[in-house]
Amino acid sequence: MASNSHPHPWSPLQAPKHLAKKLSLDPKTLSLASSDFGHINYETPLAVFEPTSETDIIDLIKYSNSLPKPFTIAPRGQGHSTHGQGLTHDGVVLNMNRLSDSRNGSEIVVYDEYVDVGAEQLWIDVLGATLKHGLTPLSWTDYMYLSVGGTLSNAGINGTAFRFGPQISNVLELHVVTGKGDLVKCSHVSNSELFYGVLGGLGQFGVITRARIALEPAPTRVKWLRLLYTDFSEFTKDQEHLISFHEKHDTSGADHVAGYILANLPPPRDVSFYSEHDLPKITSLITQYGIVYSLELGKFYDNDSQSHVEEELANLIKGLKFIPTFLFEKDLSYQEFQNRLQVDIEFLKSKGLLDIPHPWMDLFIPRSRINDFNEGVLKDIILKQNVPVASIIFYPMNSNKWDDRMSAVTPNEDVFYALGLFRGCFDKKELEASEAQNWQILQFCKDTGIDVKVYLASYKTQLEWVEHYGSKWELIKERKDEFDPKRLLSPGQKIFN
């Protein structure tokens, strides 16, 4: 546990009365704000600020700026970072969740083409509100119990990103409180530098307080397929074929394309999709080959287009090279599909597996090097070392669906792959082995010239961030100087602090 052995020049007890009453020094509250989903890093803040309005956030930031030595401010939604990115030891954690407590649930307002939503709201609640109007956001994150402001500060990706881009590509307008304490309404055309800065900006330039998200008519049902492969090249070719349809403006393609790697590793692994009847033959296939590739395909449709979607789906999978006897299909409501992870989450929660360390790693890998990555990382590192990995995702995205003016960075190729290594560690030994393996993977990529980008990165030095941003670093620095010159915001990212 990090200690505050060096007295800080500022104490929460010195705050003006209207701020002091919203600064919590309660030990339990401080303890909850001293860690995140990762349960790896611990930093106890000086206080937790519980705002009930945008004005409170403005006042807190302006007050910090007024001090000879300002305190840092770490905005926190669901605290879903894994390596302390949302923590601070010499400042204040800004509990965004308290905003919804004060708004009586009125902060999701649905219009014909967009939804206005408080940044603290959860995506699952945004979905529920828009579906009542027969509408839906275009792009999603896999886990729906994350805050809008949280995913927009990173990117927000899942199997719809190949088609619509990440969630940050589907934002029309934002309300942002900058690091100077200015409340700014921004969009593509108004205050655009701040708009592009905070989208994927890791909380460095401002606190998102509201967002306007694009909507489209919602489908009612989803055909959900998983197809298994033992040949990596055929698996990736088929994935890339499926994400190419919409590039040609062909609407008969898939609406959701993702992929999983099923490896002969200690459980738990991603099995909740499959029935008890199917698991033995899948396990046998994995045992035989050591590694199996699973292509996930989602086709959205409406109740009245059942026969049409069957026909489109049959055409879609006709030329794919999966093992014919390993096609698995489910049919479920659109809402159930978007919230499909919740079954797994409830299971993990019941086993206490959400409260253990999660040394997760997410990478973006250039398409030109995925075969080298498969051989050098998936087979030679992950498969050969007995280090637990609960689930591995691997699927492609089109880079032209990302806006390079935004702060997020991706490999410089038309198509790149997302890899997610999701782990849970039961003891210190497992944690150390997992962290060492993560480092080994990055080192392999560096040594062999695979220009990966770490998504949801947790670097410890500014030099690593300079490398991460590459040609974008100067822009990031300029935005910091303009919008947060005193370096108050999101210190846990360790980019400028």
For the chain, the farthest-separated pair of C-alpha atoms sits apart, in whole angstroms, at 70
Q: Are residues 339 and 298 in the same domain?
A: yes
Q: If you average pLDDT over residues 354-359, what whole number do you get?
A: 94
Give the pLDDT of residue 118: 95
16-25, 259-268, 344-353, range with the lowest pLDDT: 259-268
Closest CA to 417 of 200, 294, 263, 236: 236
pLDDT at 268 over 90: no
Give the pLDDT of residue 453: 98
Q: Are residues 188 and 296 in the same domain?
A: no
For residue 201, tell me if it sits in a domain.
Answer: yes
More confident residue, 259 or 389: 259
Give the pLDDT of residue 266: 52
Q: Are residues 210 and 325 in the same domain?
A: no
Confidence of residue 493 (pLDDT cuts 50, 70, 90): very high
pLDDT at 264 over 90: no
For residue 287, tell me if it sits in a domain.
Answer: yes
> Could you tell me the CATH number of the domain that includes residue 143?
3.30.465.10
Question: In what side-by-side order are the strands of the sheet with 453-455?
Answer: 327-333, 221-229, 291-301, 256-263, 391-398, 415-422, 361-366, 453-455
pLDDT at 271 over 70: no
For residue 172, tell me if it sits in a domain.
Answer: yes
> Could you tell me the CATH number of the domain that includes residue 392?
3.40.462.10
Spatial separation of the C-alpha atoms in residues 200 and 170, rounded to whole Å: 12
Q: What is the pLDDT of residues 195-207, one digit of tens each?
A: 999 999 999 999 9
Confidence of residue 2 (pLDDT cuts 50, 70, 90): very low
Q: What is the pLDDT of residues 274-295, one digit of tens each?
A: 888 888 899 899 999 999 999 9
Q: Are residues 167 and 241 in the same domain?
A: no
Give the pLDDT of residue 5: 47
More confident residue, 6 or 186: 186
Spatial separation of the C-alpha atoms in residues 181 and 158, rounded to whole Å: 33
Q: Are residues 209 and 232 in the same domain?
A: no
Q: Are residues 338 and 265 in the same domain?
A: yes
pLDDT at 103 over 60: no
Q: Are residues 408 and 268 in the same domain?
A: yes
Confidence of residue 349 (pLDDT cuts 50, 70, 90): confident
The residue from 419, 435, 455 where one domain ends is 455
Distances (CA, A) of 490 to 52, 113, 198: 20, 32, 12
List all residues 6 or more positions away from 303 whose beta carbon is below 8 Å from its beta carbon. 220, 221
List all residues 6 or more positions away from 260 whose beta carbon is below 8 Å from its beta carbon. 226, 270, 293, 294, 296, 391, 392, 393, 394
Q: What is the pLDDT of residues 146-197, one digit of tens each?
A: 999 999 999 999 999 999 999 999 999 999 999 999 999 999 999 999 999 9
Q: How many percent of the chain have pLDDT more than 70?
A: 95
Q: Residue 366 — φ and ψ, nearest 5°? A: -60, 140
Q: What is the pLDDT of residues 357-377, one digit of tens each?
A: 999 999 999 999 999 999 999
Q: Are residues 209 and 292 in the same domain?
A: no
Q: If you average pLDDT over residues 29-58, what whole number do you get?
A: 96
Q: What is the pLDDT of residues 307-318, one digit of tens each?
A: 889 999 999 999
Give the pLDDT of residue 389: 85
247-261, 324-338, 390-404, range with the lowest pLDDT: 247-261
Spatial separation of the C-alpha atoms in residues 400 and 247, rounded to whole Å: 10
Give the pLDDT of residue 267: 47
Confidence of residue 270 (pLDDT cuts 50, 70, 90): low
Q: Are residues 251 and 213 in the same domain?
A: no
3-state DSSP of 17-50: HHHHCCEECCHHHHHHCCCCCCCCCCCCCCEEEC
Confidence of residue 265 (pLDDT cuts 50, 70, 90): low
The residue from 180, 200, 217 where one domain ends is 217
For residue 310, tell me if it sits in a domain.
Answer: yes
**Tokens encoding 207:** 């606190």
More confident residue, 106 or 428: 428
More confident residue, 176 or 99: 176
Provide the domain limits for residue 282.
Answer: 221-455
Give the pLDDT of residue 98: 84
Q: If you average pLDDT over residues 429-440, what whole number do you get?
A: 97
Our count of domains for the chain comes to: 2
Confidence of residue 37 (pLDDT cuts 50, 70, 90): very high
* DSSP notation for 181-228: S-EEEEESSSSHHHHHHHTTSTTSSEEEEEEEEEEEEPPSEEEEEEEE
For residue 30, tell me if it sits in a domain.
Answer: no
Give the pLDDT of residue 106: 55
Q: Are residues 321 and 416 in the same domain?
A: yes
For residue 443, tell me if it sits in a domain.
Answer: yes
Q: If you average pLDDT over residues 411-420, what whole number do you get?
A: 97
Q: If you average pLDDT over residues 35-55, what whole number do you get?
A: 96
pLDDT at 4 over 50: no
Tell me the pLDDT of the chain averaged across its residues. 93
Q: Are residues 193 and 236 in the same domain?
A: no
Q: Are residues 202 and 227 in the same domain?
A: no
For residue 339, tell me if it sits in a domain.
Answer: yes
The residue from 194, 217, 240 where one domain ends is 217
* Spatial contact of 59 and 27, defined as CB atoms under 8 Å apart: no
Spatial separation of the C-alpha atoms in residues 359 and 75, rounded to whole Å: 21
For residue 372, tell me if it sits in a domain.
Answer: yes
Confidence of residue 8 (pLDDT cuts 50, 70, 90): low
More confident residue, 41 or 343: 41
pLDDT at 303 over 60: yes
